[in-house]
Structure 1
Amino acid sequence: MLYSAITPPEKRSRLRAALASGELLQFPGAFNPLSARLIERKGFDGVYISGAVLSAELGLPDIGLTTLTEVAARAAQIARMTDLPVLVDADTGFGESMNVARSVQTFEDAGVAALHIEDQVNPKRCGHLDGKSVVDTGTALQRIRAAADARRDPDLVIMARTDIRAVEGLDAAIDRARQLVDAGADAIFPEAMRDLSEFAAVRAALDVPVLANMTEFGKSELFGADQLREIGVNLVIYPVSLLRIAMGAAMRALDTLRADGSLKAEVPRMQTRAELYELLDYEGYSRFDSDVFSFTLDDHINT
């Protein structure tokens, strides 16, 4: 009932242990707290919070328009509603060194278990769009050093994302990833890899966990969990998938309503009231309510 009983430090510790296990972790992207609870209910390892999704929720493109306050507030709403560790997209850290440090501590306070900071210039672009620009190596390393120095909980996972593959090629991506690890990154997110061999090359070059981004309509082919597990990828995210599925269903339903004047044809594809109530734990709230208010005025008339 209400929020997760597992503390943020415990979630971070569990994520650290899971990453060290060598198993492949799957983190679907949540677009709200309810979807995070569904991800947990379906047995996944963690929850991802995509900057692109949070931008889209606000009706904005993913070009660096959201603020630290907006993203951290939504991250807190999602993180407190699930027992799973949450990885949040911190974009470029919402500024440079001091801004990055503040962002890290703000996300710590929001209860996330991990965050990733990228090496694009400000304002950033979606990682699977053309025309990206990355900062120089010194600036990229400075961001990660600031993030690592700013965290108060040593179990908070600081992940470095590099977008340099699309700009300078795979060798440059591997070289920068190594430098980011030396600067303090606990894990690496190599964005927009072209094929499985590129993920394998990054994995072979590093001694820290590596993340694969399986986003639809992007630069990377959609590899299966078994394929990624075989080459040693540690974590895979599906950042916008649930939002795309939900919006696709909403589009079809609205078309049906417009055409038929009723949603009767869509009812078999809807989440039922019983399924929603079970996910929300209505029974738990009812039990709590009954325990708190299980008295009558007559029992206390003389007190």
Structure 2
Amino acid sequence: MADPSIKAALAAKQFIVAPGIFDMISARIADRMGFKALYATGYGTVASHLGIPDAGVATFTDMVGRMARFSQGCRTPVIADADTGYGGLLNVRHTVMGYEAAGVTAIQLEDQEVPKKCGHTPGRRVVPAEEMALKIEVAAEARRSEDFLIIARTDARTTLGLDEAIRRGQLFRKAGADIVFIESPETEEEMKRIGGEIDAPLLANNVDGGGRTPILSAEKLASFGYSIAIYPAVGFLTMAAALERSYAHLLQHGDTNALPEGVIHDFGKMNELMGFPEVWEFDRRWARPEASRAAE
């Protein structure tokens, strides 16, 4: 069931910072931190689950099970990337129902053509605005709870310009979107204009490592009119960097002694993170004397 806390935070004008999660290790770590929401990144989830680019190959079936695991394995509400809704209007309806049943709190739908592409890579094309507006209407009708939020994303800025992206954001809001996401604005001035011209909670996509949009502080984003900042790549980029350093050290030295401090996690802490103490306590409570086992 959708968590009402995100909707309540938006109503109370509380800014939401959401780190990207892409597997259950990243989800468990982020879940302990005290964030108001977690962002289940499509790029990272497809990469970790299938080892392929986020280029529209992953299906609803590939993704909904992963989103269910994130939602059910975390206490923090999950915002989930659902690409284009995996097809036409009927697919969007099915996707919304499936993600809501999985326990997701907010679903992100975008106006790209199929197959879609990552929002900070070239070659993206968008469907007609009216076609996407219908998808938003269908999504809003398909949900069971008003606490389940619809995020409408447009990728029009890169190919059609900022004016069209803002027009689409306004249209999608009227169609029933709870949150509007203008992907890939390229300057602070563009972001400020978006905040001034779209009357809706706004989401900013802060892509570390070379995204198209400047990464701004929560305070500055809030002053521009934004309500949510997602950091989809921070988790898997950090993991990739640490793995490269650790594996390179192992290849060069033949062991993992003298790895740089902070590169490798403490094994005991990892056991605790994954819930082993509960397993050990269960084993202690249900252990039987050796004599009882021998008699069997």
TM bin, normalised by shorter chain, reads: over 0.9
| Aligned equivalents of 1:114, 1:20: Cα separation in 2 | 15
Aligned to 1:283: 277
Aligned to 2:6: 15
- How much has 1:81 moved relative to structure 2? 1.1
1:62–1:298 distance in 2 versus 1, CA, 3 Å: closer
Of 66, 79, 90, which aligns to 1:74? 66
| Aligned equivalents of 2:187, 2:87: Cα separation in 1 | 31
User: SS at the partner of 1:155?
Assistant: coil
**TM-score w.r.t. structure 1 length?**
0.90
Aligned to 1:265: 258
Of 240, 243, 249, which aligns to 1:250? 243
- How much has 1:171 moved relative to structure 2? 1.4
| 5+ residue gaps, structure 1 | 1-7
| Aligned equivalents of 1:288, 1:171: Cα separation in 2 | 60
Of 82, 87, 93, which aligns to 2:79? 87
Of 7, 27, 33, which aligns to 1:36? 27
- How much has 1:277 moved relative to structure 2? 2.2
User: SS at the partner of 1:265?
Assistant: coil
Aligned to 1:121: 113
1:175-194 equivalent positions in 2, closer than 5 A: 175-194=167-186
- How much has 1:168 moved relative to structure 2? 1.6
Q: Percent identity of the aligned residues?
A: 34
1:163 aligns with 2:161: no
Letter in 2 for 1:15: I
Letter in 1 for 2:192: A
1:296–1:262 distance in 2 versus 1, CA, 3 Å: closer
- How much has 1:247 moved relative to structure 2? 0.9
- How much has 1:146 moved relative to structure 2? 1.2
- How much has 1:108 moved relative to structure 2? 0.9
- How much has 1:20 moved relative to structure 2? 1.5
1:28-67 equivalent positions in 2, closer than 5 A: 28-57=19-48, 58-67=50-59
- 1:23/1:229 contact within 8 Å kept: no
| Aligned equivalents of 1:233, 1:218: Cα separation in 2 | 18
- How much has 1:136 moved relative to structure 2? 0.6
| Aligned equivalents of 1:236, 1:162: Cα separation in 2 | 16
Letter in 1 for 2:271: Y
Of 190, 205, 208, which aligns to 1:198? 190
Of 78, 93, 97, which aligns to 1:101? 93
User: SS at the partner of 2:259?
Assistant: helix
| Aligned equivalents of 2:61, 2:276: Cα separation in 1 | 31
**TM-score w.r.t. structure 2 length?**
0.92
- How much has 1:199 moved relative to structure 2? 1.9
| Aligned equivalents of 2:66, 2:84: Cα separation in 1 | 17
| Aligned equivalents of 1:275, 1:230: Cα separation in 2 | 39
- 1:22/1:232 contact within 8 Å kept: no
User: Greater shift after overlay, 270-279 or 183-192?
Assistant: 270-279
- 2:170/2:199 contact within 8 Å kept: no
User: Greater shift after overlay, 197-206 or 177-186?
Assistant: 197-206
Letter in 1 for 2:47: A
- 1:27/1:235 contact within 8 Å kept: yes
| Aligned equivalents of 1:67, 1:130: Cα separation in 2 | 21
| Aligned equivalents of 2:89, 2:290: Cα separation in 1 | 60
Aligned to 1:5: none
| Aligned equivalents of 1:259, 1:289: Cα separation in 2 | 41
Aligned to 1:3: none
Cα deviation, 1:196-222, whole Å, max 9, x if unaligned, reads 222222222233210000002111012
| Aligned equivalents of 1:169, 1:46: Cα separation in 2 | 30
Cα deviation, 1:92-145, whole Å, max 9, x if unaligned, reads 000010000000011111111001100011111111122211101121111111
User: SS at the partner of 1:218?
Assistant: coil
